[in-house]
Amino acid sequence: MASRTLLRPTAFVDSPFGHDGKVARLAGGLTWFSQVEMIGWDGGRRVSSELVPVERVFEWIADQPEDERIAWERLTSVRPPLQLGERTIRLDQPQVMGILNVTPDSFSDGGRFGGAEDAIAAGVDMAAAGAAILDVGGESTRPGAAMVWEGDEIARAVPVIARLAAGGNAVSADTRKAEVMQAAIEAGAAMINDVSALTFDPRSVEVLAGSSVPVILMHHQGDPATMQDDPRYADVLVEVFLWLEQRIALAEANGIARERILVDPGFGFGKTVAHNLALMNGLALLHGLGCPIVLGASRKRTIGALDREAPADQRLAGSLAFALKAAEQGAQILRVHDVPETVQALRIWRGLRDEALTPRQPQ
């Protein structure tokens, strides 16, 4: 593998005021950074790591070939809004995606809804509480989950998608199957969330290339039935970055424009607790892909592992901690179970950012 340098923003600052030439804006959002970890990668391994002030990075970039300059532009450029049906979702600030699992066996909320009407009502409540997007899924992809037949998945999810979309909500379909994607899009789904990153069903690329909806490409290692057996990485952060980079390139080569692609590091999908924490600590590296970042750490097993094996329904505080850590690093969409609580946490975070970004006249 050819040698290259990857750039991870760090040393975040509250405000750019008074720091001209010393800070850069992260992905056009509400976060600025003053240092970059320059990661040297060669032969499939990390060969160097150096913390460099942003002003030195500006100088370095000026002397680099076009591909390195493009990488810097992707890291700092504004992410345009998502147009999801009637809704325009701004990505210059973190947004909440509400999880709506219409399944009997999802790890946290499987079997919560007695039928489509209950699920629809829950979706309406999530939207009223501030969820910008509703992510509807009819198949559990938790560790150890068995595959669901397309017909059953469509029967579970599509009626809910259709009703919520007809009500003016921005609806995403959480599926890895082309037939379900097509049915969901026809029912009004304005985005596809594929935990396999278009690797599970060969027809999924064709379905999405023939549509105009955005797609979330999520990193994973292995399939749901076996992915937690013994996941291994030499360098999980860089390997996830490079894997997603390859999936983006494949999607583009098959007619899916980069502007329609979002990325998800796949927290908990073929990863140990240590892997998940390393990904969270280094999340800002993924902005170098030039795509909005989706983060789904809500109620995940890692929280229980760090807090005396707390069960899934007692992981709210840990979920909020991960959500705020992701917001701090510029993640644009937070996929969560607990919508009202996450929306409130982000409103406080936004209030802090607004105060820091309000110029003050000397008294």
For the chain, 363 residues long, give each residue's pLDDT as a single digit of tens: 458 999 999 999 999 999 999 999 999 999 999 999 999 999 999 999 999 999 999 999 988 888 889 999 999 999 999 999 989 999 999 999 999 999 875 545 545 665 789 999 999 999 999 999 999 999 977 666 677 888 999 999 999 999 999 999 999 999 999 999 999 999 999 999 999 999 999 999 999 999 999 999 999 987 766 667 678 899 999 999 999 999 999 999 999 999 999 999 999 999 999 999 999 999 999 999 999 999 999 999 999 999 999 999 999 999 999 999 999 999 999 999 999 999 999 999 999 999 999 987 665
Strand order in the sheet with 261-264: 261-264, 215-218, 191-194, 171-174, 133-137, 95-101, 333-336, 294-295
- Residues 285-324: tens digit of each pLDDT: 999 999 999 999 999 999 999 999 999 999 999 999 999 9
- Residues 260-274: tens digit of each pLDDT: 999 999 999 999 999
Q: Is the CA virtual torsion 295, 299, 300, 303 positive or negative? A: positive
50 C-beta neighbours (distance < 10 Å), count:
11
Please state the separation of Cα 359 from the chain's center in Å: 31
CATH number at residue 167: 3.20.20.20
My answer on whether 125 and 31 are in the same domain is no
Whether residue 363 lies inside any domain: the answer is no
Whether residue 361 lies inside any domain: the answer is no
Whether residue 358 lies inside any domain: the answer is no
CB 251 within 8 A of CB 261: yes
- Last residue of one domain, picked from the residues 44, 76, 108: 76
Whether residue 184 lies inside any domain: the answer is yes
My answer on whether 141 and 274 are in the same domain is yes
My answer on whether 137 and 230 are in the same domain is yes
Which of the residues 177, 300, 301, 353 is marked catalytic?
A: 300
The 8-class DSSP code of residue 24 comes to E
Whether residue 215 lies inside any domain: the answer is yes
- Last residue of one domain, picked from the residues 55, 76, 97: 76
Question: Phi and psi of 212, rounded to 5°?
Answer: -120, 5
| E-state strands within 54-113 | 82-84, 87-89, 95-101
Which of the residues 142, 299, 335, 353 is marked catalytic?
A: 335
- Residues 87-109: tens digit of each pLDDT: 999 999 999 999 999 987 554 55
Q: Is 300 a catalytic residue?
A: yes
Domain count, the chain: 2
- Last residue of one domain, picked from the residues 22, 54, 76: 76
Q: Is the CA virtual torsion 76, 77, 78, 84 positive or negative? A: negative
Whether residue 181 lies inside any domain: the answer is yes
Query: What is the extent of the structural domain holding 329?
Result: 82-352
Report angle CA 139, 269, 338 to the nearest 5 degrees: 65
Whether residue 360 lies inside any domain: the answer is no
pTM beyond 0.75: yes
My answer on whether 13 and 132 are in the same domain is no
- Residues 202-224: tens digit of each pLDDT: 999 999 999 999 999 999 987 76
Whether residue 9 lies inside any domain: the answer is yes
Among residues 221, 294, 236, 237, the alpha carbon closest in space to that of 261 is found at 294
